Amino acid sequence: MDAWRRLSALMRRIQTVNAMRTWSRGLQRKGVTIGLVPTMGALHEGHRSLIRAARLACDAVAVSIFVNPLQFGPLEDFDRYPRSLAQDLRICRSAGVDTVFIPRAQEMYPADFETVVSVQRLTRRYEGLSRPGHFGGVTTVVTKLLNIIRPDKAFFGQKDYQQAVVVERLAKDLDLDTEIVVRPTVREPDGLALSSRNRHLSPEERKAATVLYRALSEGRELIRAGERSVRKVEAAMTRLIRAEPVVRLDYLAVVDPITLDEVRSVRGRVVLLLAVWIGETRLIDNLIVTAR
């Protein structure tokens, strides 16, 4: 076991930017590599898979747990967002996390805070249209976390596909010294992507929620069977979603995996992006599909 790990067998909980900086700079001086998994807590198997990937790729792992007020609109579910810190800490401990960074909102955004980091074109569509201001909050908090910790690698889920592309762009454009790693979506056995917001679903809504993956799979099967018309793929997916009375479609798009531009006919790799409302809960999902 490495000496630094023996010394820090207990998982650290850090609440201040200064203490977090001191922890990471101290390890980096010893040549220890750091992997960061940024989260908003209410941890599940999707987060665990990111932590596992970080443990495999880096010497030390930090998880941030911060329900970032800046990425929620005034009418969104910030107050209702699930919080389960005690359980999150147990999960982190059992997953071998070295440090959990749990800053308070005032620590990240003191009263005189006034900077917003903004990625332009990539954020003006899909999630950015449905949730004005959302990506400004995401890119600002990610920039802060990457500056505070300066991890060698930071791990994000494909589950939030547009977010992953935006963060990759941000890291490149601002010459951040962190490799962005995107890991596959972890799903329930029936295909529903794990999400902290799933715990809001009633039993009836939970059943209906399988329609996200069913619609995405239908799109993928059509493309695999040779369909190249995006209009037809979208029509088939929309039909499935409309058949679920408790589900309301927010957006559905077939896009280029890198530019996120909508495509009209399928060639090579595309991403099917989907967002729906189920009662009061908004869920998103996506699938990368390669036309053969």
44 is catalytic: no
Q: Is 39 in the site for ligand AMP (CB under 6 A)?
A: yes
Q: Is 160 in the site for ligand AMP (CB under 6 A)?
A: yes
Q: Is 40 in the site for ligand AMP (CB under 6 A)?
A: yes
Q: Is 20 in the site for ligand AMP (CB under 6 A)?
A: no
Q: Is 72 in the site for ligand AMP (CB under 6 A)?
A: no
Half-sphere exposure of 148 (CA within 13 A, CB side): 24
Q: Is 166 in the site for ligand AMP (CB under 6 A)?
A: no
Q: Give the integer Cα–Cα distance in Å for 38 and 42.
A: 12
Give the residue, chosen from 23, 24, 34, 47, that forms a contact with ligand AMP under the rule CB under 6 A.
47
Of the candidates 162, 30, 11, the residue with the CA atom closest to the CA atom of residue 99: 11
The interface region with ligand AMP, picked from 82-90, 97-105, 109-117, 153-161 by CB under 6 A, is 153-161
Nearer to ligand AMP, 141 or 266 (CB): 141
Q: Is 128 in the site for ligand AMP (CB under 6 A)?
A: no
Which residues, 176 to 235, sit near ligand AMP by CB under 6 A?
185-186, 193-196
CA distances from 254 to 158, 266, 267 (A): 16, 8, 11
CA distances from 275 to 138, 189, 213 (A): 18, 20, 11
Count residues contacting ligand AMP (CB under 6 A)? 16
Nearer to ligand AMP, 32 or 182 (CB): 182
- Report in angstroms how near the CB of residue 159 gets to ligand AMP at its nearest: 4
Q: Please, are residues 138 and 51 in contact by the beta-carbon 8 Å criterion?
A: no
- Report in angstroms how near the CB of residue 225 gets to ligand AMP at its nearest: 27
Q: What is the binding site for ligand AMP (CB under 6 A)? A: 39-40, 46-47, 49-50, 156-157, 159-160, 185-186, 193-196
Active-site positions? 47
